[in-house]
Amino acid sequence: MGKLILIRHGQSTWNAENRFTGWVDVDLSEKGVLEAEKSGKLLKELGLEYEACFTSYLKRAIKTLEIALKIAGKESKYTKAWELNERHYGALTGLDKAETKEKLGEERFNQYRRSWDNPPPILDKGSKYSSHNDSLYKELKNVPDTESLKNTYDRVIPYFEKNIQKYLTLDKNIIISAHGNSLRALCKYLFNISEKKINELEIPTGNPLIIFFDKNLKIEKSYYLDKEREKKIISNQ
> Model confidence over 157-197: pLDDT tens digits?
999 999 999 999 999 999 999 999 999 999 999 999 999 99
206 close to 7: Cβ distance less than 8 angstroms: yes
Check residue 76 and give its pLDDT: 83
In this prediction, residue 126 has a pLDDT band, given cuts at 50, 70 and 90, of: very high
What is the layout of strands, in order, in the sheet containing 52-55?
A: 79-80, 52-55, 174-178, 4-8, 209-213, 219-224
Report whether CATH 3.40.50.2300 matches the domain 27-87+148-237.
no
Check residue 236 and give its pLDDT: 63
Domain boundaries, the chain: 27-87+148-237, 90-145
Check residue 114 and give its pLDDT: 87
Residue 179 a catalytic site member: no
Tens digit of each residue's pLDDT (9 = 90 or more) over 63-95: 999 999 999 999 889 999 999 999 999 999 999
**Which ranges of 29-87 does DSSP label H, i.e. alpha helix?**
30-46, 59-72
Check residue 234 and give its pLDDT: 78
pTM listed for this prediction: 0.95
Residue 9 a catalytic site member: yes
Selected catalytic residue, list 35, 66, 83, 86: 86
Check residue 70 and give its pLDDT: 96
In this prediction, residue 232 has a pLDDT band, given cuts at 50, 70 and 90, of: confident
